Chain A
């Protein structure tokens, strides 16, 4: 599989900060990957995700976006990605339909196609019965699914998810993870952060582990676990980052 994003010596230092949030990060994301970015609180996961999504510029280093092996500019790149932030980044006073119509229009999706896509997403994510109800009345799990629906309204080639299942019940978590599997099976590259190690171990094929802004380990999840003689991902995580509190 060809690389869709390549990072070379990426570092990030926020204005007025005394230390780098990310230091010399180099790795690549292959097309069709299910890549998990892990690390303790404050490790730099969100900063890394923000740089990958072009939300933040890196201080040094390069991030090369590719489509069919050719580098593309950031605006072209934005057309091919979806982003699902940890926060409920939508308008809770509006309905899922109104939110999806708004964000879908910003992607320049034709109106007819957009309506069809909204119906499809609402059905798949089990929200068809509340398509026209205001989101602020929804449960946490339903809001998470709306958040996901907005992130994938443009049928992205690369999907970035920042803790997509935090604070939801087992049913919603199951539905979300199942849909992510389905998307990946249809060719979407998934970049994902989570603190749920079991969920991540089952879902991801590749991991990037960072701590204090530095890349600790990366590679195929099974190989990395075997190389470090760990029983599972959680044990590997504790082995490499320690068991002390980080916040």
Chain B
């Protein structure tokens, strides 16, 4: 035990002296988890808290342009600035120079076109029902609404806005068509009771997170990002641990240890113990930030899962997977530069295909299949099961099995390499 204690103490001393390694293992993930969570949270707020800035250029000579603007404002999605005086060229200039993203242009004929369309459809409907007789069918062209956008805007965001405006426009069109039906049938206007029935009691969509626990876990940017970047942090120990192993091997310390009456396994075990402590410390620090510091800066707080035993098991297995990977890189790399470079790049790639950067469900099917080889993917699946899906043991079992397999595979490779090199 004294030898193990001395080995662990030596590892801790080496770690304390590895300032770059410590920065990479603690500061980098802390910054990343803050930045990514803030960015994702602000994107969420942008869509949900009346924050999409929209310039509206209303050239409409009728009243429906104002009605559409009113509906858009009431939706709570858009922050509307009306600038009716802008020309097409000025709109483009405004978008390019004034940090504005979107501009909606309603043409002079907006009301006229909408009314004509509603009138045409309602007349045709009543004619079909043989309520009135239509002698002449007027063709109605498309209503030319233009949505200008900043070229930096991502396609998916632009399409979401476009669909959203389209749905609000449909509300207006439906309303107009019903009004026209009444007018065609000789009424002055829609009866108030009918209008209320028609436009109230809209079907609502209740969003329910699939969750195996009885608790109500609300998926937030914090619930997604804190576990994801904690895993990334753990695996980034490859820089410190992998480099440390190469340095010891190249300096001849491993050779010297062969001439000392002590088991070489002791060296490996002491490294595992030390870095297990480091990994658990990383998790504690990042989870604590999510739990206690995030709410102070307006971010959602981290809700810890109810399955604490599952959390401990997945955390321990994730830590051992990260340690085993780092030791594997350190054992096979020929130089410190090789270990650091290969280790860092590999972790970034494994994180990308594993869903740390972007969720795997947005990836093509073949990328999702490739992602299954990433240990970070399985660690993330484990944490998502715990943090977002209620932490059911059945759902956790694939993660647990894969991580055990990955750890064993790495350890066997490490043992084989060290055996070939005659260290064991």
Contacts and interface: CB of A to CB of B under 8 A. Distances in A.
A108 interface: yes
Contact of A107 (B9, B18, B260): B260
Contacts of A75: 261
B252 A78 contact: no
A54 B18 CA distance: 32
Interface string A86-124: 111111111000100111011110000000000000000
B260 A85 contact: no
Contacts of A70: none
Interface in A42-97: 53-57, 75, 78-79, 81-83, 85-94
A152 interface: no
Given A54-B258, A88-B252, A106 B3 contact: yes
B257 interface: yes
Interface in B253-283: 253, 255-262, 266
A105 B256 contact: no
Interface in B1-21: 2-3, 5-7, 9-10, 13-14, 17-18
Contacts of A92: 251
Q: Which has the most chain B C-beta neighbours within 10 Å: A88, A89, A92, A101? A: A89
A94 B259 CA distance: 21
Nearest to B260: A106
A93 B9 CA distance: 14
A29 interface: no
A150 interface: yes
A90 B253 CA distance: 6
B7 A102 contact: yes
Interface in B311-366: none
Q: Which has the most chain B C-beta neighbours within 10 Å: A102, A103, A106, A150? A: A106
Q: Which has the most chain A C-beta neighbours within 10 Å: B257, B259, B422? A: B259
A56 B422 contact: yes
B251 A89 contact: yes
A86 to B, nearest CB: 8
A105 B6 contact: yes
B259 A107 contact: no
Nearest to B5: A105
A94 B10 CA distance: 9
Contact of A55 (B10, B255, B261): B255
Contact of B17 (A78, A94, A150, A151): A94
Contacts of B13: 91, 93-94, 98
A196 B256 CA distance: 24
A78 B5 CA distance: 21
A87 B251 CA distance: 6
Contact of A78 (B2, B10, B253, B259): B259
A134 B13 CA distance: 11
Contacts of B266: 106
A105 to B, nearest CB: 4
A94 B256 contact: no
B18 A93 contact: yes
SS class, residues of chain A in contact with chain B: loop
A106 B10 CA distance: 12
Contact of B256 (A56, A93, A98, A150): A150
A89 B6 contact: no
Contacts of A98: 10, 13
Given A78-B260, A106-B257, A107-B261, A90 B6 contact: no
Contacts of A87: 251-252, 255
Contacts of A107: 260-262
B271 to A, nearest CB: 13
Contact of A105 (B2, B14, B253, B422): B2
Interface string B35-61: 000000000000000000000000000
Nearest to B17: A93
A57 B223 CA distance: 55
Nearest to A134: B17
A166 B3 CA distance: 32
Given A87-B251, A91-B253, A105-B3, A53 B259 contact: yes
Given A85-B256, A89-B251, A78 B261 contact: yes
B260 A103 contact: yes
Interface string A15-32: 000000000000000000
Contacts of A94: 10, 13-14, 17
A215 to B, nearest CB: 23
B259 A81 contact: yes
A90 B251 contact: yes
B259 A54 contact: yes
B10 A108 contact: no
A85 B7 contact: no
A89 B253 contact: yes
Contacts of A101: 6
Contacts of B260: 78, 103, 106-107
Given A85-B252, A90-B256, A106-B260, 7 more contacts: A55-B255, A87-B252, A87-B255, A93-B14, A106-B3, A106-B257, A160-B259
Interface of B: 2-3, 5-7, 9-10, 13-14, 17-18, 248, 251-253, 255-262, 266, 422
10 contacts: A54-B258, A78-B260, A89-B255, A93-B14, A93-B17, A98-B10, A102-B6, A106-B257, A151-B256, A160-B259
Q: Sort A-B residue pairs by CB-CB distance and give the 9 closest, nearest first.
A: A89-B252, A105-B6, A87-B252, A83-B259, A93-B17, A78-B261, A89-B256, A106-B262, A102-B10
